[in-house]
Structure 1
Amino acid sequence: MPSDFNPLLPEDFDSPHADYRRLREQCPVAHSDAWGGFWALMKHADVAAAAADSATFITSKQNVVPKVAFTGRRPPLHLDPPEHTPYRRALAPLLTERRLQKLEPMIRRICGELLDPLIAKGHGDICADFSSRMPVLVFANWMNLPPDQVDELADLGRRYNVAVQSADMDETKETSLLLYDMACAIVADRKANPQDPTEDATSALLAVRVDGEPLPEEMIVGCIRQVLVVGIIAPTVMVGSMAVHLSRHPDLQSYLRANRDKVPAATDEFLRLYTPYRGFARTATQDVTIRGRTIPAGEPIALVYASANRDADIFPEPETFRLDRPNMKESLAFGRGTHSCVGAALGRLELSVALDELLARTKGFSVDGPIVPTRFPEIGALKVPLRFE
């Protein structure tokens, strides 16, 4: 079968979006020979329908393109309903908007501690020096890790983060295994020293009973391993992408700095415009025909959220930043259906606080060197050197 696109070709920050615009118009159900071959859905309607149909499009065979799991199954992402449900149900109460508001002072403190040295120096890489570190520290605090484990996760999380985005498979595998060891240690500690399951993610998972039986310990470890990094990579990429956009549009930067109450709405529009995921995968349980193309059962299908969120059928002027879009509920930035991001509220809060603190602590900033883009499965900026005023 001929390849409709090649995700292994060199990219810059903007080129994937141009290619996806072509595919939406000419080949919305695309096939690539990369990584053993996979399909890619480019249109909003097709991505949303597949994400919502967990019976036909499963995640238990492959959940990301390319396939990068080295350490066993990690709920809830690696399981299908109903097996995934107890894990998600245990975590969801700890990730509600109301519950997370109490974390905002902590997130602001972390942002300030990371940003102030960069701004004082006058320049720095907003990804390497700030956004690759901030979400690791936030997650470590949310998971009630002691200081030594916070430091360990800060190091491992950043190494894993950069390795995945740089397509360094050896480093990805090594750091993934070390993160798995860390998850094992966290579970062992909570078993020996239980915490309140309404306040601690690991304890909440250990407290779950299904038909009177606890969840399998190896699956709890896999879930904690997933939780350790699932919310780390996307904020790194998103902060970099927001910084690039605001550097290119100093008028918008000035407006948001003067109207910081608009930062949450701006964050939602940035999430639509620069959705950081293009490789979350499903596998069809039967042959499916979409827009005249038949995808055989068992072959991986990438749900390209980054393309879907720039579909002109849903979003007028889709490649333009528009504050307060009326139909933002259609955004697929955090997915849809049973595998929509359970940590969406935390992700929004982190990004809004990070952007707000960056604007509040500067008079201006601009890109000051080459932007290094990330690769599949993420899309956006891996390195963004900035000069600060």
Structure 2
Amino acid sequence: MARPERFLAVYYFILFYFTTGQRVNGKEAEVECTFNEQWCNFTQLSLDNMQWTLGRNGDGGFAHVIANTTSKTDAVMGSPPMPPLYIPRGLAFQYRQIGVSLTIDVAVMSGNATQIDVIWSSHSPDSAISNGTWRHARVTLPPAEGTGTLGDIVVFFNASSTGSTVLTHSSLSLDNVVITRGPCDAGEPVFRMLSDISEMTCTFEKDQACTYHDYVPPRLVNKTTITWTIHQGYTLSSRTGPTGDHTFTDHKGRYIYLEASGIMPDTTATIKFELNPPMSLKCAVFFYHMWGYVVGSLRVFTLKDDSPFDETLLWKQSGNHRNVWHEARVDVPANSTAILFQAVRGTSNFGDIALDDVMVVNGVCADNQRPLVNITMPPATTTTMLTKTSSTTTTSKAFASTTPSTAATSATPKTKTTASKTTTLTTAAST
């Protein structure tokens, strides 16, 4: 991480040359930059032997840094200055790590430039996550504590070289930076799609190549069953269900859910994901939302050897778990041919159950401990675990003994493809 005096130098340089409060796309974005052949009033200063430069590929432009030294060094780029606000801001951006010697930190200088907060850091690259996949990150920026010119806010992107002896094929890219007024969405875990190591990923968006179908287990043939509903935004009932999906955390993204109103208690909805090949151990990762007065249960089963009668219950969650999306990970035994997600209606109309961002990763969950999200978990609730599950929480670092904000990261490719459900899902296009 760059030394504080270096941030101060860049901070005063930015304040001297730019006016405050760039605003793009109406009231939503104060700062927005795609780095398509321009810096958008971002300022980069070569502190050592590295610097941010503009790059270009078939998708447009981006800013990037190439490691060209074996010593530990930094390249810092600052946003246009923004006026102090006494409410948080939301920062969203995409980044890409290639190689093993570069990481990125996000820092904020505010107030009278007397403190620097490092509010988000990328995880140390490894071979599984640093192969060129674009990832999304969302960070809530803390409110300002100062006034006047020196109270203006500057967000810094700091690329740090770890001092690796590997000089070739190590770079870090940044794109699609957007800063808006107001914090990131409540509950703010954001999906990171590790498509480079996942066997199957399903976000329930249009055009995504995931396959699933409605399913009625033989034991429920004579029971009341319904199908999961693909939905956007709020559910049909108030005081229950999510306000938006998990992938995008907005009203346009899609998820599936069980609508609790208008059906009888113990009504079930089941979907089936095929696994191919079924021979090895796997880890199922998914996000669920269970909030309401009385919420039923969400269960995860596997099928073996293509036998509909060979169900194994792996995981179960019941009750009210607040109005946030939660991550769960479940080990899937070898020779499993399918995973079933089953929602069971409780005794109240206020008990919607939602599911989003289902992913299956090769290997057991204990071997996939790199966090898919950084999330501040709610108070502990009772969960029945029939086989081992695992989850990961991480805490933002602080610089100069300050209290950091929680950051939520996700990994999705830069161009996200999306999917609509049919009996066996294959649909075409819309963005």
TM-score of the pair, normalised by structure 2? 0.23
TM-score of the pair, normalised by structure 1? 0.24
Q: Higher helix fraction: Structure 1 or Structure 2?
A: 1
